[in-house]
Amino acid sequence: MNYGQGSDPLATLELRDRGAISVYAQGDDYHEIIKPRLKALARWLVAQAGGDVQAGMKVFVDPPR
């Protein structure tokens, strides 16, 4: 995942009169992006295993704060 916003995030740290927000916190919530991708990966893994995985698959993404 590229969290880049098109500018140098470290340049903001040089501006002592401004606060800096972590680059990953400036974009979309990664929880909403990663979980569907993990579910798709889990479905693919089950299909690759012949669709007969006894334990099944469960995906987890740490809860947003």
Hey, which residues are catalytic here? Answer: 62
Q: Which residue has the tokens 């995906």?
A: 59
DSSP code at position 55: S
Nearest to 62 by CA among 41, 42, 32: 32
Gap between the Cα atoms of 64 and 37, Å rounded: 17
